[in-house]
Structure 1
Amino acid sequence: MMNMDLQQLIQALTNQTRRDLEHSAQRCVTRGGREVLVEDLLLTLLEHHDGLLVRALNDAGIEVAELQATLQPKGEASASRNPVFALALVQWLQQASMVAHLELRRIEVDHGALLLALLCHPLQHAGSAYQVFLSRLDAQRVREFVLSQVPRTDPAPQGESLLERFTHDLTRQALEGRIDPVLCRDAEISQLIDILMRRRKNNPILVGEAGVGKTAVVEGLALRVATAQVPEPLKEVRVLTLDMGLLQAGASIKGEFERRLKGVIDGVNTSVKPVILFIDEAHTLVGAGGQAGASDAANLLKPALARGELRTIAATTWTEYKKYFEKDSALARRFQPVRVSEPSVEEAISILRGLVPVYERSHGVYVRDDAVVAAAQMSARYLAGRQLPDKAVDLLDTACARLRTSRETAPGALQHLYAEQAQGARQLQALNRDRDKGFPVEEQTLLALNLRMEALDSERLDLEQRWLEQQKTTQQVCPRLVAQVISAWTGIPVEQLAREHSEQVLGFADALRLRILGQEQAVQALDRNLRAVSAGLNKADAPVGVFLLVGPSGVGKTETALALGDLLYGGERFVTTLNMSEFQEKHSLSRLIGAPPGYVGFGEGGVLTEAVRQRPYSVVLLDEVEKADPEVLNLFYQIFDKGLANDGEGREIDFRNTLILMTSNLGSERIGKLCAGGRRPDVQTLHEAILPQLRDHFKAALLARMRVVPYYPVTGDVLHDLARLKLERLGQRLGLRSLAFSYTPELVEHMAERCAHDDSGARYIDQWIELHLLPQVVDRLLQAMARGEPVSQVHARLEANGVPTCEFSQ
């Protein structure tokens, strides 16, 4: 008897047979039985008037009604609502499963398998009333009738039918034009052909990260075979993709998976045309189908691969290749690795250009060439964690789909307007109901709501007219639409994406001066570096820049990093800040790059490497870098020099698109002495003054990889400008609450004077605002909200006694 549990038996049934079994269980519940009997299932089968059992009974001259009367269970009913399957019924299902798989060669158990199982095991049902009727059936005649019902689409041998069942013909798809063009993969396809032409070890395995185009390489081979652009021995081959999911589906019976895979191999050997089998995600072979006492798919394939009976192309990722193939040397030596690398941005553009006609036909839109270039460049820059060309293709496809959707459905702004109108109509209806019932309703509220509804209706008509006009124009995918998709995926503002990088760099210095006051030398140093990067004249295998910002506290070093993240990459969230005072121990290095194998936390990634892997186009700020342990700083030698590092899992992390900034207070006292009394020495003098102290702390090799930028203390007019800047930011925060904010020049003078006597620099201005102005605003707003009093104006000034105060008005 096969070792199968009831769940496996039920899963092996056809949909109709499973429904019949459920109906039988319901029949048992209806009569109050404790067990679902063989008789219950037979009665259900007899309800199919054109079913196999009824036809067999009619052919033997047996009255169906007479058998139905005999099958009616006898006995007392019970109150059980949860009957179980009787042992005889379970044994019948097991026998039917054996008949289906071993005799009928069917994947699932149907009525024919059930009937043959009854006839093949008469002793199992001896003594039952229905056995008298079944004994009158001609078992051989029923078997021939059941076998004649087995669907046969091809008179080919059984092995080849399994081959057709569990594979997809890529060559046929190529001939029918159902495969997209494959570009920029000629070298990989040629290498594939070279390996396939070998006499032995002619099984290539494509290894590369997900999304680089491993499957496309095989599709390119199928296209060449279809157009006879291959050597003579390969012109007649069929490239078939093995469907591992379909191969394992329903193979819960012991030995079924092995039978299927053996049938596929036999089908390859007996095929009239030579076959090349493509196994995508080949690492799933290891362990696939393996049960107690059985081999997995990889072990089943090894003999066929060793004898050369099976030509196979496999594909997997580097991680899975190391995990499964390299550990199994017997399996690894049967395959020849073919590296499939991520294409460059230029190659991705060429690939997209080849796919443009396909997507234009599919979506019914026109794709501009500058949109193709934007899709490749923006996906490479902003979609981290994925590979080209897959992410560029997805981006362009989504842009085409969005354009088609906007043509056929109302745009998002119009849908939002519809929702707002519906919400207003419900509110208006509720207020009118209250007024009709005699409840008090403010007429001013009703009037304002009616005016709002009229304004919304006018806006709706305008948007609908613009939408209709837009539908009449040529539907084209442009770079701005691609930027909108990227913005929806990443949250980066569209305006930031739509601007050319060169435009950003040209206006970078002016924008940075508005945020970093009194540090012209830092602005110029960063501007020169970014201009060189934009022109492509920087060192190719290094980060965008490595700067050590040195100076007293509160002069704008950290603010510089935040401003760079905002101006260059679209927001301060693109700044990864690491407080290096937390890395004063040698073992804390694992926090940066991730724990090594065998240690707690392995696989979770490091705070530095994981942040850069997810967002390679970003700013990394190493705050107070002088406080880190020297062993931790050794990690940055290769990062600063080559722009690469390996994390705890052995993955290579690319820092070449990252701007690295470090801050330090080393040399602050010397800078303060040189700048005392309002003096402002040149940058070279400051650099020479602080360099000895930097050399005492940092190794010469590490210091040589940085560009030192000294920061001047904040004094004089710069403090006044900073005070005004901080007050303007407070005004922006109040503006979010619909409050206008103003201040007096005396207040600015007072803030600058107080800040000049504090060692914390510009940070004191923030602290002063939080301590003296903000509490007054908060208290007054809370009081106004509690009393229902409107407040629209806040004016900050200095009292005669030097106390800051805020005045509020409507």
Structure 2
Amino acid sequence: MTNQTAPGAQSSISPDQLVFIDPRFEFSAPLRFLWSLVTFSFYGVFIVGTILAVTSDIEWLRWAGILCALWLVDRALHINTPPYQLDRLSADKVAGVNVAQFLLPKSFRIIVRALDRTGISGGDFYLHFMKALLRDAGIRGALWRLEISPEEFEHKVDEEIAKYTKKDKQYSHAELLARIELLIKMAFIEAYGEGTRHIAPSNLFAALGTIDDAAVRRVFYLFSLDVGDLQKALIFSRYRQRFAWMRVIPATLGGFARKGPRHRIMNRAWTARPTPTLDMYSDDLTDLAREQRVGFLIGHAQEYGTMINILSRGAKQNVMLVGDPGSGKETIISHLAFNIVKDKVPDALFDKRLVSLSIGELVSGAGPEEISGRVSAVVSELIGAKNIILYIPDIHNLFKTSGEGFMNVANMMLPAIAGDAFQVIGSTYPREMKSEIEPHTDFLGAFETVRIEEITEDEAIKLLTYVSIIMERQYKVVISFEAIKAAVSIAHKYFKQKMLPSSAEDLLKEALADATHRGEKMLTDELVIAVAERKVNIPIHKATKEEAEKLLNLEDIIHKNLVDQEPAVGAVARALRQYRSGLARSGGPIATFLFVGPTGVGKTELAKILATTQFGSEQMLLRFDMSEYQDKQSIFRFIGTPDGKMSGTLTEAVIQKPYSLILLDEFEKAHPDVLNLFLQVLDDGRITDNVGRVVDFHNTIVIATSNANSDFIKDSIEAGRTIEDIRDEFKKKLTTHFRPELLNRFSDVIIFKNLSVDDTIAIARMQMKKFAKMVGQDQGIALDIDDAVVQHLARIGHDPVFGARPLRTVINDRIKSQLAEMILRNEISQGSHLRLTMEGDTVRFVVTEEHN
């Protein structure tokens, strides 16, 4: 059994498993010089002798010269390569391998240079080695990608070297060899994990970051250089150098995979059979892998390993891959094809063909009888071939009720699949798995299910590093490593409609297009952030001085649209300041509030203001009337029905708008099971929907409103008590409506008091001011409103029970309706100047003059 380590794969090799033997490092500097002199002298004599032999008149001597010349040519072609290649080393043969055999001559020379320098001047060997590595163009390029000046980095290394004198740190030869041995072993592990052929200088530099050396750590710390970031940035340099030598950059990720052996239809034991019918309705993925068009994989190591184990066992060898679009199902299948071609699979899968069947082509343009004949022929060929793994993408199409042909295909293939006559890999989506496949228990029972999860941010960064090499050629813009990190981080946080890496790649492409339009030569993280902010319409960057000033005065900004309710305004302002300064708690939504108070006091209005302040628009407010969720079954309206046929209103809304304010009106009226649903939302910021997807609430603000115990608030305020005085007592009373564990999960329970007449007057003044502005902008009519009119409307619109809610009706009836009739009767028109005054208890509309 052998395994393939793909580029970017994680390696679990320990240095203790490896061996380091290289007598050249035992030599002293003079002895190494002597050895080099003898070697060059030998080659010089050998070349001269070969030339004389080739030009000799003696036939046998001439042939001997030709053989020697061929040997010299071969030696010249391989003079800069070590005797062994890492990508040909199987995982089960790593233990005990001599790592020195994979060291590039260039890497050897750099180590020797540092070794000699340390012997001469003393000091820290690793610092001298770092200094020697900085001569490599690829390493300097990687630092530049990380927005670190190579010159400044080298200067800092020189400063660290200068701190040591020969007396400060003097190694014995054995100690130096021990440090070299550890370094090369760590570089081997790094190179093997990255899927490179040899131990190159870039691998040695990455290995430096894993060495426990105070001086090295200090240099890395000074430049905030993360080892993981360094390893990924070195990918640019490594493949840039490789493709520069090849004078080509691959058009797809498949070009980063190593080329496999020649095309084979028949297995090497010549026991397989041709499959002409199957070939008509399928694509051979192993052929595509040989052409370097598929096979590149980063991440999904666990899912891939599980799939291999299932396919390799003795019974029930069929796999069902279940994952959302873009989760990587096709990539995993392609990587299997690649490893089959490379003979990097267990013995049970050796020499297999991986064939992708197109159900659409199989049933297209044929009646039931012809379809039956085609399926029978395909199944017969699969059974007879004995070396085919059949891949059926979107296998749920076998059960679509819209076509009888699909059902016939399922019924005809089931006996062979269930009987392990041939191996099958199917792929489907979570919703289709629930609605189409799970009801067919006999079919599902023939498969082992493997869930394909979204790759991690770290894996997405590594994958996009490879993608960026291709995109740089397309857009003619250099992509900084920080831009890649920003794209992944932002996409994972704000663009949940797609999974990583697709969401990050789309954002990176948009940013590249914008950079090209602007004439930028390098794509930076600032440009990526700017493009993302335009898409989501919320601030992502760190608060500027102007924004910080607004945040510090957020209460005043809110009060431009909301009257009184100081404790509520202060609480939400503090929460937003914590979030924008990066101090908000991790693991949950931005903030979660329970607004409690009488009707019409500003609870919903404050939610609207928050939506506009944080998310840019009231359109980002997702409102749910919880009085509509009073029965136990209504929970499925939120998360979707168990059969997968109906999506959840809450989960789908958050997937479409992951950056939004969720308003839960009349929260206390919902069924207790529905309320329990929000325990996880408020605490962890996530919820699982009906098809197993985890929906992320980390970028939302959750506000629940309630009128519970409003009379207690009213009576307490009228008795002269303040909100702070009644807070604890009021929270205890809330436990009659809400479970304590639910209340405790809110960031804050905010009490809204009843509005006074003066509050209603202030609200009326605010609303009439907005109305006058709207009339002026939309109708071109100047509208002046006496304060007596405002107070008259407020007195009529004030209600001790319903707060300021009736005020809107009063303004509509007394002001807007009459003004509408005047416009329709042409009593006023664009350019008119209208004044609203009081005459007794009646509002008079007086046209005073035309205005410009």
Superposition TM-score tier, normalisation by shorter sequence? 0.5 to 0.7
Q: Could you tell me how far apart the structure 1 residues matched to 2:344 and 2:577 are? A: 47
Q: How far apart are 1:266 and its partner, in Å?
A: 2.5
Residue 317 in structure 1 maps to residue 429 in structure 2: yes
Q: Could you tell me how far apart the structure 2 residues matched to 1:264 and 1:479 are? A: 56
Aligned with 1:567 (options 606, 609, 613) = 613
Where does residue 240 of structure 1 map in the other structure? Answer: 355
Residue 512 in structure 1 maps to residue 558 in structure 2: yes
Where does residue 343 of structure 1 map in the other structure? Answer: 455
Query: 1:161·1:267 contact (CA, 8 Å) conserved in 2?
Result: no
Q: Could you tell me how far apart the structure 1 residues matched to 2:684 and 2:540 are? A: 30
Query: 1:549·1:661 contact (CA, 8 Å) conserved in 2?
Result: yes
Q: How far apart are 1:747 and its partner, in Å?
A: 4.8
Q: Which amino acid aligns with 1:160?
A: T
Task: Name the SS for the 1:554 alignment partner.
Answer: coil
Query: 1:181·1:354 contact (CA, 8 Å) conserved in 2?
Result: no
Q: Which amino acid aligns with 1:188?
A: E
Q: How far apart are 1:531 and its partner, in Å?
A: 5.1
Where does residue 278 of structure 1 map in the other structure? Answer: 391
Q: Could you tell me how far apart the structure 2 residues matched to 1:641 and 1:305 are? A: 44
Q: Could you tell me how far apart the structure 1 residues matched to 2:649 and 2:581 are? A: 31
Q: How far apart are 1:174 and its partner, in Å?
A: 3.4
Residue 557 in structure 1 maps to residue 603 in structure 2: yes
Change (3 A) 1:619 1:344: farther
Aligned with 1:664 (options 692, 702, 706) = 706
- How many residue pairs get aligned? The number is 577
Task: Name the SS for the 2:600 alignment partner.
Answer: coil
Q: Which amino acid aligns with 2:422?
A: L
Q: How far apart are 1:803 and its partner, in Å?
A: 3.6
**1:350-392 residue CA offsets vs partner (Å, 9 max, x unmatched):** 4333323334445666656566456545554555554443444
Residue 168 in structure 1 maps to residue 283 in structure 2: yes
Q: Summarize the alignment of residues 674-713 of structure 1 with structure 2, pairs less than 5 Å apart.
A: 674-676=716-718, 682-706=722-746, 707-713=748-754
Change (3 A) 1:282 1:583: closer
Aligned with 1:353 (options 461, 465, 468) = 465
Q: How far apart are 1:519 and its partner, in Å?
A: 2.3
Aligned with 2:622 (options 540, 555, 576) = 576
Q: Could you tell me how far apart the structure 2 residues matched to 1:805 and 1:373 are? A: 62
Aligned with 1:182 (options 278, 288, 297) = 297
Q: Could you tell me how far apart the structure 2 residues matched to 1:233 and 1:647 are? A: 38
Query: 1:171·1:239 contact (CA, 8 Å) conserved in 2?
Result: yes
Q: Could you tell me how far apart the structure 2 residues matched to 1:695 and 1:644 are? A: 24
Q: Could you tell me how far apart the structure 1 residues matched to 2:810 and 2:729 are? A: 33
Q: Could you tell me how far apart the structure 2 residues matched to 1:783 and 1:660 are? A: 47
Q: Which runs of 5+ in 1 are unaligned?
A: 1-153, 408-469
Q: Could you tell me how far apart the structure 2 residues matched to 1:670 and 1:396 are? A: 55
Q: Could you tell me how far apart the structure 2 residues matched to 1:284 and 1:481 are? A: 39
**1:288-335 residue CA offsets vs partner (Å, 9 max, x unmatched):** 99979995246436436745x534332222333345554555544443
Q: Could you tell me how far apart the structure 1 residues matched to 2:405 and 2:279 are? A: 29
Aligned with 2:659 (options 617, 624, 631) = 617
Task: Name the SS for the 1:712 alignment partner.
Answer: coil
Task: Name the SS for the 1:619 alignment partner.
Answer: strand
Q: How far apart are 1:281 and its partner, in Å?
A: 1.3
Q: Which amino acid aligns with 2:830?
A: P
Q: Could you tell me how far apart the structure 1 residues matched to 2:715 and 2:350 are? A: 82
Q: Which amino acid aligns with 1:624?
A: E
Q: Could you tell me how far apart the structure 2 residues matched to 1:475 and 1:738 are? A: 48
Task: Name the SS for the 2:426 alignment partner.
Answer: strand
Query: 1:287·1:296 contact (CA, 8 Å) conserved in 2?
Result: no
Where does residue 203 of structure 1 map in the other structure? Answer: 318
Where does residue 722 of structure 1 map in the other structure? Answer: 763
Q: How far apart are 1:576 and its partner, in Å?
A: 2.8
Residue 215 in structure 1 maps to residue 330 in structure 2: yes
Q: Summarize the alignment of residues 14-25 of structure 1 with structure 2, pairs less than 5 Å apart.
A: none
Q: Could you tell me how far apart the structure 2 residues matched to 1:630 and 1:187 are? A: 39
Q: How far apart are 1:704 and its partner, in Å?
A: 3.7
Q: Which amino acid aligns with 2:433?
A: Y
**1:633-668 residue CA offsets vs partner (Å, 9 max, x unmatched):** 455455545555566778765555543322223343
Aligned with 1:791 (options 831, 837, 841) = 831
Q: How far apart are 1:551 and its partner, in Å?
A: 2.1
Q: Which amino acid aligns with 2:752?
A: Y
Where does residue 10 of structure 1 map in the other structure? Answer: none
Q: Summarize the alignment of residues 516-527 of structure 1 with structure 2, pairs less than 5 Å apart.
A: 516-527=562-573
Change (3 A) 1:232 1:359: farther
Change (3 A) 1:731 1:481: farther
Task: Name the SS for the 1:266 alignment partner.
Answer: helix
Q: Could you tell me how far apart the structure 1 residues matched to 2:765 and 2:402 are? A: 72
Change (3 A) 1:325 1:765: closer
Higher Rg: 1
Q: How far apart are 1:716 and its partner, in Å?
A: 7.8
Where does residue 736 of structure 1 map in the other structure? Answer: 778
- The RMSD of aligned alpha carbons is 4.7
Q: How far apart are 1:265 and its partner, in Å?
A: 5.7
Q: Summarize the alignment of residues 111-190 of structure 1 with structure 2, pairs less than 5 Å apart.
A: 159-179=274-294, 181-190=296-305
Task: Name the SS for the 1:190 alignment partner.
Answer: helix
Q: Which amino acid aligns with 1:564?
A: L
Q: Could you tell me how far apart the structure 2 residues matched to 1:611 and 1:524 are? A: 29
Query: 1:686·1:710 contact (CA, 8 Å) conserved in 2?
Result: no
Identity fraction in percent: 30
Q: Could you tell me how far apart the structure 2 residues matched to 1:581 and 1:304 are? A: 50
Q: How far apart are 1:736 and its partner, in Å?
A: 3.3
Change (3 A) 1:322 1:289: closer
Task: Name the SS for the 2:779 alignment partner.
Answer: coil
Where does residue 262 of structure 1 map in the other structure? Answer: 377
Q: Could you tell me how far apart the structure 2 residues matched to 1:303 and 1:197 are? A: 18
Where does residue 594 of structure 2 map in the other structure? Answer: 548
Change (3 A) 1:190 1:614: same
Q: Summarize the alignment of residues 376-455 of structure 1 with structure 2, pairs less than 5 Å apart.
A: 376-377=488-489, 379-381=491-493, 383=495, 386-397=498-509
Q: How far apart are 1:341 and its partner, in Å?
A: 0.9
Q: Could you tell me how far apart the structure 1 residues matched to 2:701 and 2:352 are? A: 52
**1:67-116 residue CA offsets vs partner (Å, 9 max, x unmatched):** xxxxxxxxxxxxxxxxxxxxxxxxxxxxxxxxxxxxxxxxxxxxxxxxxx
Q: Could you tell me how far apart the structure 1 residues matched to 2:360 and 2:515 are? A: 35
Where does residue 821 of structure 2 map in the other structure? Answer: 779
Q: Which amino acid aligns with 1:312?
A: V
Where does residue 296 of structure 1 map in the other structure? Answer: 409
Q: Which amino acid aligns with 1:356?
A: S
Q: Could you tell me how far apart the structure 2 residues matched to 1:225 and 1:305 are? A: 24
Q: Could you tell me how far apart the structure 2 residues matched to 1:263 and 1:184 are? A: 34
Where does residue 105 of structure 1 map in the other structure? Answer: none
Could you state the TM-score of these two structures normalised by the residue count of structure 2? 0.57
Q: How far apart are 1:674 and its partner, in Å?
A: 3.8
Q: Which amino acid aligns with 2:713?
A: I
Query: 2:687·2:694 contact (CA, 8 Å) conserved in 1?
Result: yes
Q: Could you tell me how far apart the structure 1 residues matched to 2:410 and 2:621 are? A: 47
Query: 1:370·1:479 contact (CA, 8 Å) conserved in 2?
Result: no
